[in-house]
Structures are given as C-alpha cells and as structure tokens.
Structure 1
Amino acid sequence: MSIVRPYGDTTGDGMVQLSFTLPVPHSKVAEGAAAQLATKMGLDAVLVAHSRPMGPDFTFFVVYGRTHHLVDTDAVVVVERDFPLLTPKEVNAAVKESLQRRLVVVGACIGTDAHTVGIDAILNIKGFAGEKGLEYYRELRTVNLGAQVSVPELVARAQEEQADAVLVSQVVTQRDAHLLNTREMSAAFREAYPEERRPLLVVGGPRFDESMAAELGVDRVFARGTTPGEVASFLVHRLARTDAADRESQESPA
C-alpha cells in the first residue's frame, strides 16, 4: 500500500487548508464560530488564517489545521483516459480517412443554465488553455446553440444537423440541476433515436463526477480542466473507429 498524509509545513504533518462561508456577520465571534466548526470537523491546532465579510450577513473564512486521517493511494478509484491524445492535424486526418466526411458536433447549455463559458471554451476557435476549439478543426463541423436550450430543442437540432455527437455543458448545480438536466437529455435522445443511430452524448462541467457516465445515461463525462484537444481525441476514438468498422462490415462479402 502507498499511505500518505497531507503536507503543510513539514512532510507528513497533516496540515490542511479549508475554506467555507458562514451566515454570520464578520466579527470576532464569527471567527470563533469558524474555528469551532473546523474543530468539530476533526481538525487540531486550528488557525483562522483569513476572514472577509460577504455583505452584511455572511463571512468567508480560510482555516488551517491538522488532520490525522491517512490516504491509501492504492485504493483510489478514478476514470483514466482510455484514448490517445491527438494533435489537430491527426484528428483531421483520422476523421477524413475513417468517416470520409466531416464529423458533426452540436453543443449547448441546457435547461436554465446561462453560463456558456464551458461550451464556448470547447467549441469556439479561441479555445482554452492554449488549445484552439473544435471550430478550428477542418474536418469537424460545429454548431453552438448557446445557453438555455431546452432538451426538445436540442434533440430537434441534433436531428436536423445529423449530429454525430452532442456536447452539453452544465455549470449551474444548485439542487443537482446538472444531474437532472443530463438525465432528461439522455432519456430524450434514447426515445428519439434507435440505439445504433443515436449521437454520442458527452457532458461536462466543474461539478460532474467522471465515473457517473453510465448512471447518467451518457457516453462520457468530462470534469473541470478538460481541453478541446481531449474532447476532439475522444470523439475520433469513439466515432471514427466505429464508423470505419461498420463500413468495413458492410463491404465484406457474406
């Protein structure tokens, strides 16, 4: 096993930093309340390192303290990337060779979500983290529907555009809105399409758990920090390979 403890000032000292907001006015009493909460959470030697009023009735805190919990990194379960990262040139070549047509991607923010920063970062040519978005890829045709798109509208547009993949970004997470919207979207596409013709369903956002794809009924979940290159590589991995295999089976003699 590989057992580790948090590092603060010295190796293995268990020191951690935690931030939160309490619904109390900024004061010494508020700082005492923050220290009490951190202590009840199991931290020792608690220090309120920072406090700031958030309007007249709320206070934001950063506290510092020691935890006695250990982490076994061998027991950590994550979703590993199971496809190679390709350059834009490699993506274009793979799509051209395998699909022999442009790969169509429809993207949107669904429900009441008006935050387009995520979908724009993946689709728009300006991209994200130094990578250009999918609009930059010559062999990809992207349709960005923007924000507050209803699920029926998304399904109808995907059918109209003959989409190969549908990308949905969800930033608003109050009351698990991102999960409810994703499940509604998944169910609608499965009702509207035969399984073999359904577009690839991909969702992303800062509060998604990448391991929930099957539970949400989608093909892939991308979490915070995902780049356009990762999304493009995944689409090629799943769509170009599948389409080429289907075409080969159709051309093979009986």
Structure 2
Amino acid sequence: MSIVRPYGDATGDGMVQLSFTLPVPHDKVADGAAVQLANKMGMDPALVVHSKPMGPDFTFFVVYGRVNHLVDTSTVEVVERDYPLLTPKEVNAAVKRSLRRRLVVVGGCIGTDAHTVGIDAILNIKGFAGEKGLEYYREIKVVNLGAQVSVPQLVERARAEKADAVLVSQVVTQRDAHLLNTREMSAAFREAYPPERRPLLVVGGPRFDETMAGELGVDRVFSRGTTPGEVASFLVHRIAPRAAA
C-alpha cells in the first residue's frame, strides 16, 4: 500500500502529535493560540495535551489532533545506501589493498558550533550504537580537530595531513548556520584543491537533509542515527576506486 494516513489510537485515524513554542506568556489565551495554530495547520479537532512556560514570555506546547492528509510513499525521495556495509576487518583490508597506506581522515565542528558529540561518536574509539569509532580502524588515521574550527584552519590542516576525507559535524542550525557553514567549507576546498586531488567532503548532523549533498557542494550528507561503520564503508567505497584510477 503506497497511500497511508497517520496512526494514533486506531489504524488510519489520522491522529498526530506535534510540539512547538509561541512567544506568548503561559496562560489560557496561550493554549487557545496553540489550538488556533494547529487548526490552521490542518489539525481538527486539536487538543493541547501539555503546555509549559519557557521563561516569562514564551510557552512550549504539545498538541494532539486529527489531520485528513494522505501520504503517497511511492513519491518519497530518499538517499539509499549504494555501497556494501563492511566490518572493520573488511574496511582495513580494503584500505590496505587499494591505498597501500593508511587512509587519512580530518574531522571537526566548523564555525561557532561547539557540539562535538556527533563528530566524536564517529571518530573517537568509543564510537556509537555499539560500534567502535574510526580511531579503532587500524588502517585509518584520524585527526579530530574538535569544536569551533574555522574553515581556513580546516583546509590548512587537511592539506598538512594530506587528508583523503574531511568529516564535518554541524548541530547548531539557527538561521541555517549549518547550511551556510557547509557551503563556505565546500567552496574553500574547491578553491584550494584541483578537482582530482580534493579530499572527500562529508557532513553530518541531525537536521541535515541527505538529498542536499549536490546543493551543498559535498560528496555525502549523513543525518541522525549514522554509525561509524556506515561512514567507514562509504569512505572505502569512494576512495578505493579513486586510488585505482
């Protein structure tokens, strides 16, 4: 079945739950404003099931209600994994076979972003979701620059390390900072390198759209839930053929 409707209490009942914040004090008028907004978004009926003050002038809401919208899953566009998922042993063997040296990865958080949890989950040996990070891979050299790295610093370090890939994590999204920083980063690398020598550019974060790689000028976008094994497998998938050329 390609046509579906949201599920809440019973199949196909159209019930959904959403949360948002309004710049109004927490009172009954605020709850009414939240219901009005939900109605205008297509929820009818809509019920405020939770509201909480966020300081004196803002209120956070959770609203539950019914929508009549249908979803056609046959028209959904996603980025499917187009490479095999390898074990650490297979990644090491592939790197050793194709490069005959260690694969060099430089990573960090650019701009004013100080949230290193994402990049550390991929790079640090402790890893994420039960998987070891890239530092665990014998044939991968990891250079983790940490937080608040400027784009010029990133380019300079990538050149100094002769990086094969550059991994950037962006969590701060106010005013689309993650998109602006990524575009600045990709432009800087294209200016600093000839096309055939530019390292792979990979960005990740919970609010990236994986279909935007081309628009952002990077080779791959990873979103929430990405594991170190997925990243390592992608790097091997893209770098091994380049090394053989």
Same fold (TM over 0.5): yes
How far residue 140 of structure 1 moved from its aligned partner, in angstroms, is 0.3
Give a deviation string over 1:128-158, Cα, whole Å, max 9, x none.
1111110011100000001111111111100
Note if 1:190 corresponds to 2:190. yes
- Output the aligned Cα RMSD: 1.0
Note if 1:126 corresponds to 2:155. no
How far residue 28 of structure 1 moved from its aligned partner, in angstroms, is 1.6
Equivalent residue, structure 1, for 2:88: 88
Equivalent residue, structure 2, for 1:26: 26
How far residue 195 of structure 1 moved from its aligned partner, in angstroms, is 0.6
- Equivalent positions of 1:160-175 (< 5 A) are 160-175=160-175
How far residue 45 of structure 1 moved from its aligned partner, in angstroms, is 1.5
Could you tell which deviates more after superposition, 51-60 or 70-79?
Answer: 51-60
1: CA distance, partners of 2:34 / 2:184: 39
Q: TM-score under structure 2 normalisation?
A: 0.98
Equivalent residue, structure 2, for 1:64: 64
Give a deviation string over 1:25-49, Cα, whole Å, max 9, x none.
2112211111111111111121111
SS in 2 for 1:166: strand
* Uncovered stretches (5+) of structure 1, i.e. residues with no partner: 247-254
2: CA distance, partners of 1:133 / 1:219: 20
How far residue 240 of structure 1 moved from its aligned partner, in angstroms, is 1.7
Code of the residue aligned with 2:12 in structure 1: it is G
SS in 2 for 1:125: coil
How far residue 229 of structure 1 moved from its aligned partner, in angstroms, is 0.7
How far residue 102 of structure 1 moved from its aligned partner, in angstroms, is 0.4
2: CA distance, partners of 1:149 / 1:2: 44
Give identity over the alignment, percent. Answer: 85
Equivalent residue, structure 2, for 1:43: 43
Equivalent residue, structure 2, for 1:159: 159
1: CA distance, partners of 2:220 / 2:53: 40
Equivalent residue, structure 2, for 1:113: 113
How far residue 57 of structure 1 moved from its aligned partner, in angstroms, is 1.5
Code of the residue aligned with 2:236 in structure 1: it is V
Give a deviation string over 1:114-137, Cα, whole Å, max 9, x none.
111111111011111111110011
Note if 1:213 corresponds to 2:238. no
Note if 1:97 corresponds to 2:87. no
How far residue 242 of structure 1 moved from its aligned partner, in angstroms, is 2.2
Equivalent residue, structure 2, for 1:3: 3
Give a deviation string over 1:183-238, Cα, whole Å, max 9, x none.
11111111111110110000111111111111111110111111111100000100
How far residue 241 of structure 1 moved from its aligned partner, in angstroms, is 2.8
Aligned length: 245
How far residue 180 of structure 1 moved from its aligned partner, in angstroms, is 1.0
* Uncovered stretches (5+) of structure 2, i.e. residues with no partner: none
Equivalent residue, structure 1, for 2:74: 74
